[in-house]
Structure 1
């Protein structure tokens, strides 16, 4: 479970997140939506200890990320698919993570096969397309077989087949009782993937609802989202 408790984060005079609280529960895919600058990335970075909040806290299975005894076993994270060592192969990148976390190397082969990268395991990710980098990032997130999965824009750069694969993967992870939390700008894909939605605007919670509740009375998630967040966009920004 992922529990966000009264989190506030300021960068100078700019408030990125303000008194934000919500809970992401296991057994469902929870989407994280909001206009550009709403605070989604800051919230995810706070969740995994990369940014320190000014107040409040985010707990993963009851503990802050930096107090988890075995982080990769409890929380799998993808925030930046390009954040890999430029001189290591895809296999070596995962093998280093596995070795430092006491994960058997056979698991590296398993996740490479799961994400469809077995054939390029010996290549350096620096030459990967964005879609291939995303697959490697997902492999790293799943390496420890975690109960909580946090993914920022996981389908970015993927072709339609890859997008369908991610959709199926995330729904299967939730069906196994895991906590799945993802952000995406692809409304049509989020509509087909997510069970619940957390919507924020200007750092504050706007909605914490099921997909059915948000889309009731609207033709699509995009229309419902536009109506809900029209007052939270940055000046000069368009939803469309």
Structure 2
């Protein structure tokens, strides 16, 4: 389970996340949405321990990730797959990550098969398409068989078959009792995938609700745009810092 409590992150004069409290429970897929610059990636980075909060907390299973003895076995992460080292082969990259977490090489090989990259095991990552890099990123996230997954735009660059594959994967992971937090701008896809939604804007919580609570005929896109418009009107009548 992921929980944030009054989570705040400031970069000098810029406030990226402000007083943000929400939860993503086990056994569900939680969509994490907001416009560009709303603080989604900053929040995810704090959840997975890549950035420290200015104040407040972000915990996984009740503790900051840095306090867990085996982080790879607690949280699997897909953030920016473009940062994956281009000179390594897909197999070498996964085995290197596996070694860091004391995970058997066989697990890396099995995951290449599972994500559809077995035939590309000897290819250098720099020669892969964005969609193939996304699949490799998901394989890396699954290495430790974690109970929590944090996926930032996991369908970016994937074709229709790949998008459907990710949808079925995250639903299966949630059905196994795992916590899955997914960020995406594709509202129609999220509506088919998630159980609940957390909406943020300018680093603040705008709302959180279960998909099943949407009124008949109201799409996730409609609900999101209504919340975002209300936040924009509020900001227009106030002064303050910006977020990213």
**TM-score bin, normalised by smaller chain:** over 0.9
What's the counterpart of residue 176 of structure 2?
176
What's the counterpart of residue 220 of structure 1?
219
Q: TM-score, normalised by structure 2?
A: 0.92
Q: CA offsets, 1:112-141, max 9 Å, x none?
A: 111100000110110111100000000000
| Structure 1 unmatched ranges of 5 or more | 236-240
CA contact (8 A) 1:76 1:141 kept: yes
Q: How does 1:1-12 map to 2 (within 5 A)?
A: 1-12=1-12
How big is the shift at 1:217? Answer: 4.6
What's the counterpart of residue 40 of structure 1?
40
Distance 1:15 1:217 in 2: 37
What's the counterpart of residue 78 of structure 1?
78
Distance 1:29 1:209 in 2: 12
Secondary structure in 1 matching 2:81: coil
Q: CA offsets, 1:167-223, max 9 Å, x none?
A: 00000000000000010000110000000001111111111110122x315442112
Point out the more displaced range, 150-159 or 45-54: 45-54
What's the counterpart of residue 209 of structure 1?
209
Q: CA offsets, 1:148-174, max 9 Å, x none?
A: 000000000000000000000000000
Distance 1:69 1:218 in 2: 47
How big is the shift at 1:232? Answer: 3.6
What's the counterpart of residue 125 of structure 2?
125
Q: How does 1:177-196 map to 2 (within 5 A)?
A: 177-196=177-196
Point out the more displaced range, 87-96 or 217-226: 217-226
| Structure 2 unmatched ranges of 5 or more | 237-244
Q: CA offsets, 1:60-105, max 9 Å, x none?
A: 1122111211111110000011222222100000000111111111
CA contact (8 A) 2:38 2:203 kept: yes
How big is the shift at 1:7? Answer: 0.5
Could you say what the CA RMSD is over the residues aligned between the two structures, in angstroms? Answer: 1.4
How big is the shift at 1:231? Answer: 3.5
Q: How does 1:1-240 map to 2 (within 5 A)?
A: 1-213=1-213, 215-232=214-231
Q: TM-score, normalised by structure 1?
A: 0.94
Secondary structure in 1 matching 2:123: coil
Change (3 A) 1:229 1:218: farther
What's the counterpart of residue 241 of structure 2?
none
